[in-house]
Chains A and B, each alone.
Chain A
Amino acid sequence: MSDVSTTGHWDQFMEGIWRQNPVFVMVLGMCPTLAVTVSAVNAISMGVATTFVLACSCLLVSMMRNVVPKEVRIATYIVIIATFVTAVDYIIQAISLALYDALGAFIQLIVVNCIILGRAEAHASKNRPAVATYNALGMGVGFTIGLLALGSVREVLGAGTLFGVSLFGANFQPWVIMVLPPGGFFVLGAWLLFFAWHARRKERQLREAGQHA
């Protein structure tokens, strides 16, 4: 990441989705990841809310990067992040109270989501607004994909539905533990296992290809 401003916007965007996925690669933001992913709808809503806060705060942090003195930068970032969280809190209440109740305290807790402060400090404060925003959007979408991967598996196994649509009919006996807190750990563990296996397999293939050559 030595000269990020010269890499394309698309690369900036893709970074958070795959190479540095916040959930599966950096394993950041685990509090909302484990807590709200009991259904696919919750997962997507939480992901969209976080993406909104992430993109808006990184844009503003990046625009102000030359006027914010280093001594007060963390205070500034937190105020900026808290502002957009408050805005998203009102917006979700305006869209749906049921969704607001389902996400509960985790909307306000976006303030302390380490992905956002991490992006503001490590990336947005050093890059031009467009670059920072693309990178933040990619991270947000990557986070949403991570949440959705957990949320859909947990909803299918724990409630027999996906996006609220019943998949198996009335006789399905739900595997309730999957929508309880332990289920979050089980499913996250399974996904991390899958990604580690995938990474190792790719590494082995590369090594074998190197040997053949």
Chain B
Amino acid sequence: MSAEHLPIDQAPATPTGAMIRTLGLVSAICGLIIVGAYQGTYDAVAANKRIAMERAVFKVVPAAKSIEEYLAKADGGIAKAGAETPAGAIRFFAGYDEAGKLVGVAAEGSARGYADIVRVMFGYDPACQCVRNIGVVSMRETPGIGDKILVDRAFLENFKELDARLTADMKALANEIKTVKHGSKTGAWQIDAIAGATITSRAVGRAINDTAQALLPRLAPNLDKIGSKS
């Protein structure tokens, strides 16, 4: 009977060097496998993330044929987006038609929903100064209840032309975008909640309002800069 077939408690004690050598060997092999998997999938993962983002943008700005990514900086300026987002800057996408003319802007907002953060992408139409179309980037809301924000026709009707005009001094939205209780919508800037899914509906309203309040005042004076495709 060789040593390896002995019951564990009768096998001879292992020298420290052997243990360290084995752990080192195993770690080296595993390290190689992990780095190989990371590098082997890097391009596909990056492409998948870009496709998912672009799909979300094209969904909320359906007239767009191409998109450009920009940053609305804290000092009020607009710049082409790089890989990193500086502090205070807001990332947004400008959608252009075939002639290279701006047809809409898409931006992401997030707010706490019922289960977790709800991240929504919304399209802003500078021509009517309104929010048109929303899409969900990620959420973990209750299936069949909260996730109705994706499919409920009456709820999506809110985003045909949701008023997002700015005040005369262009410092804030003229009317705060707000989710109201189901059936009590009175203004074009209000979102009629889904009955039974008020918390998720409110999260959508807050997510859009927060981003719109910060982004649109910076965007409005700079619209001509991004008005046509560079």
Contacts and interface: CB of A to CB of B under 8 A. Distances in A.
Given A94-B44, A180-B143, A79 B138 contact: no
Given A79-B27, A94-B45, A101-B138, A72 B22 contact: yes
Interface in A81-109: 82-84, 86-87, 90-91, 93-98, 101, 104
B33 A93 contact: no
Given A68-B22, A75-B23, A80-B30, A94 B48 contact: yes
B143 A97 contact: no
B230 interface: no
Contacts of A70: 8, 11, 14
Question: Interface size for chain A: under 10, 10 to 19, 20 to 34, or 35 or more residues?
Answer: 35 or more
Nearest to B52: A97
Interface residues of B, number: 31
A83 B30 contact: yes
A69 interface: yes
27 contacts: A66-B4, A69-B18, A70-B14, A72-B22, A75-B23, A76-B23, A76-B26, A79-B30, A86-B34, A86-B37, A86-B38, A87-B34, A90-B41, A91-B41, A93-B44, A94-B41, A94-B48, A97-B49, A101-B138, A158-B143, A158-B144, A174-B144, A176-B143, A176-B144, A176-B145, A180-B142, A180-B143
Interface of A: 38, 60, 64-72, 75-76, 79-80, 82-84, 86-87, 90-91, 93-98, 101, 104, 158-159, 174, 176, 179-180
